[in-house]
Amino acid sequence: MDFFIVFVLIAIFLGGLVRSYFGFGEALISMPLLAIIGLDTHTAISTIGLAGLFVASLNIFYDFKTIKYKVLCKMLIGSLLGIPIGIWCLRHFEAGNVQFMLGIFLILYGIYALARTLYFKNYAHIILKSKIWAFITGIVSGMLGSLYNSHGVPVVIYGTMTRWGIKAFKSTVQAHFLITAIFVVIGQITGGIWTSQTLSLFLLSIPCLIISVMIGKYLSHVTTPHNFEKWIYVFLVLLGILMLFVVS
């Protein structure tokens, strides 16, 4: 096995680890690394699509009992409505500008939420209780997913503002990703995104993905809810910075 394949597997492993621990973000970690390595764009997209589907399947197997199914259904319905809106935006607006604004928003929201958690614990927190927010979250998720595969960001922010526990938060997010990932993979196959390397790289990455899920589950188990919340906000800031870097 040459060093190129090793680096590809490391990038996929890191993405799987991030997804297993935080519940989202693997594409925003793996894709830039694969681009730096020099992997063909279509191969990278299709391989990460399969890897995301596989990791989500494993995580659902562990945590399906804690999924908030009613919320999940509302988000999925909203996503189906948001997808064509996102496609329309993609045709009429510059996706890079939208990505830049999202990066800025993630940085500002992450800093605000982290500061609130660390320094303003006694102040009232904004908690989304109305059921309509799940539907709105789904619409925004579908829009961002159509624009550049960032459908997880609004779902994660919604989860942090509903004060779910770690298990309910991650299992519901993973279930949403699993269902959307199925449609993504089908679209990639029918859209000619798969290459001759896609399936072979994915099969090679399966042991790495299994290990990444095991490590991610262990880290989640030893992380307290308060610390997990802080790491989520730190990760959102880092993702925002990464998005700005990719745009530039």
Number of domains present in the structure of the chain? 1
- Closest-CA residue to 171 (of 7, 56, 39): 56
Structure tokens at 130: 């109305």
Place of tokens 């490391």: 10
- Cβ neighbours of residue 109 closer than 8 Å, sequence gap 6 or more: 157, 236
Q: What is the pLDDT of residue 239?
A: 80
User: For residues 213 and 13, is the Cβ–Cβ distance under 8 A?
Assistant: no
pLDDT at 166: 67
- What DSSP designation does 150 have? -
Asked whether the predicted pLDDT for residue 248 surpasses 60, the reply is: no
For residue 126, pLDDT beyond 70: no
Check pLDDT > 60 for residue 107: yes
3-class SS at 151?
A: coil
The predicted-structure confidence for 218-228, as pLDDT tens digits, reads as follows 888 888 877 88
Q: In this structure, what DSSP letter does residue 64 have? A: G
Would you state the pLDDT for residue 211? 95
CB atoms within 10 A of CB 245: 10
Residue 242: name the closest of 153, 138, 141 by CA.
153
Short-list 153, 139, 136, 142, CA closest to 101: 153
Alpha-carbon gap, residue 154 to 166, rounded angstroms: 17
Helix (H) or strand (E) holding 128: none
For residue 7, give both structure tokens: 């680096």
Tokens standing for residue 41: 């764009």
* 40 vs 165, higher pLDDT: 40
Give the integer Cα–Cα distance in Å for 213 and 110.
25
DSSP code for 126? P
For 134-186, the pLDDT digits (tens) are 888 888 887 776 665 567 778 877 877 776 666 777 777 778 778 877 877 77
Q: Provide the residue range defining the domain that includes 74.
A: 3-247
pLDDT, average across residues 104-125:
74
Tens of pLDDT, residue by residue over 180-192, are 778 777 777 777 7
Q: Is 5 or 150 the better-scoring residue by pLDDT? A: 5
pTM score, two decimals?
A: 0.74
Phi-psi region of 127 (alpha: psi -120 to 50; beta: other; left: phi over 0): beta
Give pLDDT tens digits for 23-34: 777 777 887 788
Distance CA 90, CA 8 (A): 29
